[in-house]
Amino acid sequence: MSNVTFVRATPSDIPVLQALAREIWRAHFPGIISIEQIEYMLDRMYSAEAIDEEMRAGTRWELIREGVEAVGFLSYSHVPETALVKLHKLYLRLDRHGRGLGRASLSHVMDVAAALGAREVSLYVNKNNLKAIRVYGRVGFTIAESVTSDIGAGFVMDDYRMTVPCARR
């Protein structure tokens, strides 16, 4: 994984983030959630305004690069008052699955969390996203709770909240 880097995204990278999100979500999520919900969530979560607002509010977005090619992205935020890092997004192009990039990305976030003094990393994953749940479990995440959230337009997110403790550095 020596050719994998994590590069902080800026507002000028928003079109790249949007293109990756559309490609990845449309390839990965059919069968997990409906096409209608995929499009609704892409419009809602990946509009230029939504991404820019998150960046300005302190959520860190990073492009995952293999060599010079952007092959995925992640976003996370640090909540100092609860000593928590929330991993909001971690998505890789499907042709990059099974090559250790997900594990490297999780390791990166866990290293950042430890350096920030966080006690744990938390994330939400769709209950039917069995592939992701397995990957998270392999690096030590456990299911903390089941969470169903109304996201509007008749759609819900039916997730597990998973957590892993951080090793202090």
- Work out the average pLDDT over 42-67: 97
State residue 91 phi and psi, 5-degree precision.
-135, 135
Beta bridge partners of 71: none
Distance CA 96, CA 168 (A): 30
User: pLDDT-derived band of residue 2, with 50, 70 and 90 as boundaries?
Assistant: low
| Residue 13 pLDDT greater than 90, yes or no | yes
Four-way CATH pick for 4-165: 3.40.47.10, 3.40.630.30, 3.40.50.300, 3.40.50.150: 3.40.630.30
pLDDT tens for 74-117 read 999 999 999 999 999 999 999 999 889 999 999 999 999 999 99
| Residue 167 pLDDT greater than 90, yes or no | no
8-state DSSP, 29? S
Domain ranges, ordered by start, for the chain = 4-165
Dihedral of the alpha carbons of 165, 51, 80, 117, in degrees to the nearest 10: 50
